[in-house]
Structure 1
């Protein structure tokens, strides 16, 4: 039996254009579904799950950006090929930064359209398991590792700065495991007082201590065959470290004040933002437990080390919060993105999420602007200084992009210029201004 052809969804209100695209794609052997308005597409795209969506940016009842966000929120991974007029190119480029596949400017040659279609279908088949945690190389590599680990029962230690996404990675591990329907029990070891932590993790029997009026099942028991996730594991008191070690060695435990031995069925995943090895040397963490929980160790890179993910995450959070709050905003302004790219993000992804949520809730205009993300700009008494600050941000973002292009092309100016979409002369002038001329080749 021959495999089913790829399904391509077309969102196009122009009858002549739509019929032309349907006919050309059908002759190429693709299955095609044509929607003539945005509402129909958004209502059916989750059910049909096309392999590629060809979408006009301007529709009678919506725009392509809304259709794209709806598909993303529904969990769709199909690449989008946007059809745009010349005046909408900026929006199309912004959508590509948000994760869309490509765009074509009207009028276009049908052969060019079919070539782009084939390229996007090929890339979608190669990358269908990628880009869930981020689009930067470090996060794509981390995601691939987590997918492999998901099929194995080994204990995992996830390290990384506060807010970098350690629990997100732990949940990703769980949802890609065959036992994903089992519970995921998360415990923040630093958020629960020491005198309650043992009871919360291991449970207690009635009368085990003052106030224990009944039996309480702990997280270890409630996790059953799923995951017990211990965040901030370095804050676990030494006496509880010994009991946790026994769980890992014997796969058994008892409730506080109890005598019955219970089987521990869950997978243990731990996370820390501290140097556990240093804690072992300082005597604050058991060495034997350290090696037990550190069967496989992974590290989530901080957001400042993966700038490619910043705009991608902003778009995801923007779509999430505009939908949940019912707020109508046109999008994220380019200046807001530039300010975000220049920020160090000490709070990592958690800080970015918080700033986008606050910005969407309190936005002053119909676009998310720098002052919405960073309210500290609103208090500037000197308006000129605020404008100068944004200019500096723009230059810093431009310099970083040039440096990335040079790194990608091993310092070859012509190749870097092509990658950046500028002439060699323009790139040379910018390199001189930023002092980046050393080690270049033609």
Structure 2
């Protein structure tokens, strides 16, 4: 079976059923780690890297529930599909409430079992495909957002300007159960202060000069979805007080209206501000800060996660070349190296803007450092400074790119070659030429 085949764990003490499941799953292209006791599974699961666990509830030592509760405490625990007899259905239901993914009752139809297991594995695979970045920092952010997506508590997303707070808020909404509901985004810094209350809460006809008809605000249009307040620190004090009442009492009034209206949405806020300093200076209400800060998600700046730079470049390149119908073939290794050497003070927003300009204006066929950083064009060395040849620069860029591929694949040359889009022999030869220990 291919080393890339999906893998599950099977915890089943019945040798006949265990062997039958192993053989049937092999026909589906699924590798199986089979353990016949709970203790054996508990010891092996942390390093097994399985996408799901199929587990009998009744085992000779640990029961399935005890095993599940032990594994559930470990980071990145796989989902459990329980096999149960009719006498244990109540226990299976209790396990579902505790976080187990699904259960089937004996005797079960193999077709139904395979459908349920397939759904679990696809869900696991989707969850593990990076959506926000490949770095450990961003994978942790993504895991946190997926967890808080299941609850309705307010979320405050912090981070420097350009780190992707809006993207994180939209991702949180997209992976929630209310993904089909509205997502109303409000930039509190972009709306004039004298219009903010009307835009946020709406107004009745005649509420002020020029209010010729009723206007529904963002809070009302959010309905059962999300009200996202970006740069919330820019709200003036009187609106902070009104927002506090919305968070505490879940009601609001249109400007000029007397009828209280229910706020049914979820509140997500974001800011690059230093809230403790603002609270201490009296510029932001402490009680409101506590209310919106139930769960805090910090977006790390791009300089703290350089592993994401090339990944983001590839995503932006694909989207931009399709939108602009560009003839560019790809991003050169030199452009990648230049991007990795840049400090990115404007974070992801700066990277996107530079990529957009490079795709729009690049002469091709490959994106080069000058396309990304035209301000750096011109002499690169002053009198007396030594610079290497272009061939030296290319070799250095190639060497670093190969090292990143080897690091990403744990040193597996075959896997690194596949990742780089070259043959294994070609990679060996390049490693030998670049003195990367391929002898």
> Normalised by the size of structure 1, how large is the TM-score?
0.62
- Unpaired runs of 5+ residues, structure 2, are 7-25, 30-50, 52-120, 417-426
For 2:273 and 2:350, the matched residues in 1 are separated by 19
1:163 matches 2:162 = yes
1:364 CA displacement: 1.4
CA contact (8 A) 1:224 1:264 kept: yes
What's the offset of the Cα at 1:277?
1.2
Residue 378 in structure 1 maps to residue 363 in structure 2: no
The answer (yes or no) to whether the contact 2:228–2:269 under 8 Å persists in 1 is yes
Task: State the SS of the aligned residue for 1:129.
Answer: helix
1:186 is matched with 185
**Pairwise CA distance, 1:378:** 3.2
- Match runs of 1:119-198 below 5 Å: 127-130=125-128, 131-198=130-197
Question: Aligned in 2, Cα 1:332/1:262: closer, same or farther, shift over 3 Å?
Answer: same
Q: Deviations over 1:125-148 (max 9, x none)?
A: 865312111111111111111111
- Deviation, 1:212, is 1.4
Change (3 A) 1:256 1:186: same
Question: Equivalents in 1 of 2:382, 2:28: separation in Å?
Answer: 56
1:358 equivalenced with 2:343 (yes/no): no
Q: Distance in 2 between matches of 1:287 and 1:401?
A: 51
Q: Which has the larger radius of gyration?
A: 2
Q: Which residue of 2 aligns with 1:343?
A: 342
Q: Is the 8 A contact 1:342 1:393 kept in 2?
A: no
Equivalent position of 1:307 in the other structure: 306
1:240-319 alignment, distance < 5 Å: 240-319=239-318
Give the whole-Å Cα distance in 2 for the aligned partners of 1:167 and 1:386.
Answer: 44
- TM-aligned CA deviation for residue 208 of structure 1: 1.3
In 2: Cα distance, 1:306 partner to 1:160 partner: 13
Q: Give the corresponding residue for 1:218.
A: 217
Runs of 5+ consecutive residues of structure 1 not aligned to the other structure: 1-5, 8-27, 32-50, 52-122, 429-442
- SS of 2:126's equivalent in the other structure is coil
Counterpart-to-counterpart distance in 2, 1:166 and 1:393: 36
- Decide whether aligned partners of structure 1 residues 401 and 236 sit closer, same or farther in structure 2, where only a CA change above 3 A counts: farther
* 8 Å CA contact 1:338, 1:397 repeated in 2: no
Question: Aligned-pair distance for 1:392?
Answer: 8.5
Report Cα offsets for 1:393-437 as digits up to 9, x if no partner. 99799899989999x99xxxx99xxx99968x9579xxxxxxxxx
Contact kept in structure 2, 1:190 and 1:235, CA below 8 Å: yes
Q: Could you tell me whether the CA contact under 8 Å between 1:147 and 1:173 is conserved in 2?
A: yes
Deviations 1:328-353 (A, max 9, x none): 21100000000000011111111111
Q: How many Å separate the matches in 1 of 2:279 and 2:252? A: 24
Cα separation, 1, equivalents of 2:265 and 2:122: 35
What is the number of residues matched between the two proteins? 305
Give the CA deviation at 1:211: 1.6
